[in-house]
Every structure is written in C-alpha cells, then in structure tokens.
Amino acid sequence: MDLQLDDRVIVVTGGSSGVGLALVGDLLSAGASVATCARDLERLQAATGSLPNADRLLTHECDVLDPAGVSSFIDATVQRFGALDGLINNAGQSLMKRFDETDTSEWMAEFELKFSSVLNPLTAARPHLAASDAGVVVNINAVLARQPEPRLAATSAARAGLLNLTKTLSIDLASEGIRVNSVLLGLIDTGQWRRRYDQRPADDARSWEEWSADLAADRGIALGRLGVAAEVSFIATMLVSPRASYVTGTSIDVAGGVGRYV
C-alpha cells in the first residue's frame, strides 16, 4: 500500500531505540525524509547508522525538555529538507512507583516530561505544520491514560492529562489543517522491560520468554504476550500518512487487548 509519504518530512523524537527507532526505519522505508533526535547523539547515530535510505535522515542532539534546543532541532530539519509535514512525539519513560512511594519532585518531573516533551516540539513545529497541506501530530501515549495502574501512579495521571490535551489540540489546530491523534501503548518489548528483567532477583531463573509471559498474564493482556516496537510503528505510520486525512482527535490502542474499557 502506498502511504503517500514520498517527499514528506517527518520528525520523530526519541529515535535511538525501541518504538522511536522502529518509526524512523519504517518512515524511511515508506519514502519519507526523517529527522530524529536524542540526548545522546553518538548512541542515536550508532542506532540509525545501518538503516536504509539514510540519505533522507537527519540526526540531531536534543533534549525535548529544552525549548531552545528543540527550536534549533526543528530549524535544522526545515533547513535540511525545506519543509515539515509531521511530528511524532515519542520521547518519554515511565516511573514505576506507587502513590505513597512518589515524592513531590517526582510528580512534578513526571508531569513536566509528559507535557513538555509534546509542547516544546509542537510549539517549534506548528508554523511549519500549518504551512503543509498534510500537517499532522501523533502523540505516543499509553493505555494508562484511560486505565490507571497503581504501580505507576504519577505516570498514569500524567498520561491521562496528555490524552486530554491531545483531544484539545485536535480541535484547536483543526482550523490550521493540522490533525492530532494518539497511539496508546500497552506493554511493549523495549529496553525498559529488558532492563527490569535483568534487574530481577538473583534466584529468579526464568528465561525472558517465561518472565515476559508471566508479566503479560499478571497485567491481563488478552493476547498473552508483550508487543514489539514494529507493531506500534505500523499504527503511528498509518496515522501520519496523508491517507488518514479524515482522522483526528482519536486514539488507537496497541496493547494486546489489555484495555478493560469500551
């Protein structure tokens, strides 16, 4: 299927691993020019160095919490490719703590991460997206936005706020021709879960396959497994495509059936 992404310019934040890296690869394969950023440029370049069509790739060192740095990244993107059609806000992580374990500074840091990682890139990219005939924003969020997890108290609350904000943005930016949607992740097999597996107690002899299957069962994932980054990337790439031109203000779960809401 032609996603009509040839000659389109898409920004992906947090492209050095996991979902972000999968997105960069899929977008390049679909014909888009891609700009991606990370705090560690050396790691980002190492991760993306072997991707095909790298002549259409821009890598940039950037902390999405730094407005000036984000503005410089967007400026560099437009200077390199001449335009900007899409923004995929992917940078972020989770705080695995219950309510009573989370102090005030951690609450504030979690809210700053979830909101600033979207607002800073959007603020810088907005004029360019509005100038495009297919401007689009996709926010990579999580099912926690609708289904709180007590073990992720601050992250759940911050993600709920981001989902609400995404809906508002889809309304406010519609007059500028900018679509805004969410992808809500469940448990995805990325470095974060691999690190938690590596940190398991020394007497836990389970293989990764056994450990992750038990995790899926504990979290009530209907398909009985963790997802993979490519499964997320497919949906986000579809949403950023001009062929999804009548889709805005919505969210799509990529979560293996973990959502218990209708």
98: CATH: 3.40.50.720
d(CA 54, CA 33): 9
**46-to-55, 84, 90, 174 alpha-carbon distances in Å:** 15, 25, 19, 38
| 139/95 same-domain check | yes
Same-domain check for residues 144 and 239: yes
Q: What is the mean pLDDT of the chain?
A: 96
Please give the span between the terminal C-alpha atoms of the chain, in angstroms, as a whole number: 30
pLDDT at 92 (0 to 100):
78
Q: Looking at the structure, tell me whether residues 129 and 206 fall in a common domain.
A: no
- Report yes or no on 260 lying in a domain: no
Q: What is the pLDDT of residues 115-136, one digit of tens each?
A: 999 999 999 999 999 999 999 9
Check residue 1 and give its pLDDT: 83
Q: Is residue 262 part of a domain?
A: no
What pLDDT is stored for residue 192 in this prediction?
A: 80
Domain presence at residue 42: yes
Q: pLDDT, tens digit, for every residue of 48-96? A: 999 999 999 999 999 999 999 999 999 999 999 999 999 999 977 889 9
- 8 Å CB contact between 206 and 214: yes
Same domain, 155 and 31: yes
Q: What is the domain extent for residue 125?
A: 9-186+228-248
Same domain for 148 and 104:
yes
The pLDDT, as a whole number, for residue 257 is: 96
Q: Which stretch of 131-145, 157-171, 193-207 has the lowest confidence by average pLDDT? A: 193-207
Closest CA relative to residue 173, chosen from 116, 124, 135: 135
Q: Which of 132, 139, 127 is nearest to 170 (CA)?
A: 139
What angle do the packed helices 41-48 and 18-29 form, to 10 degrees?
Answer: 50
pLDDT on residue 252: 98
Averaged pLDDT for residues 227-240: 98
The confidence band for 262, taking pLDDT boundaries of 50, 70 and 90, is confident
CB atoms within 10 A of CB 261: 7
Is 171 among the domain residues?
yes
In this structure, the answer to whether residues 126 and 178 fall within a common structural domain is: yes
d(CA 195, CA 205): 16
181 with 196, same domain? no
Task: Kindly give, in sequence order, each residue whose CB lies less than 8 Å from that of residue 196, ignoring residues fewer than 6 positions away.
Answer: 96
Q: Where are the beta strands (DSSP E) in the chain?
A: 9-13, 33-38, 57-61, 86-89, 136-142, 179-185, 251-254
Domain count, the chain: 2
Distance CA 259, CA 123 (A): 31
CA distances from 109 to 105, 154, 207 (A): 6, 9, 34
Is 257 a domain residue? no
**200 & 181 share domain:** no
CA-to-CA distance for 101 and 190, rounded, in angstroms?
25
Residues 201, 148 within the same domain: no
Q: Mark whether 134 and 13 lie in a shared domain.
A: yes
Check whether residue 105 and residue 215 sit in a common domain.
no
Residue 244 lies in a domain: yes
Domain annotation covers residue 29: yes
The predicted pLDDT at position 190 comes to 83
User: Using one digit for the tens of pLDDT, what is the confidence trace for 151-168?
Assistant: 999 999 999 999 999 999
Q: Under a CB-based contact definition with an 8 Å cutoff, are residues 211 and 225 in contact?
A: no
> In terms of domains, do 58 and 121 share one?
yes
Q: Is residue 48 part of a domain?
A: yes
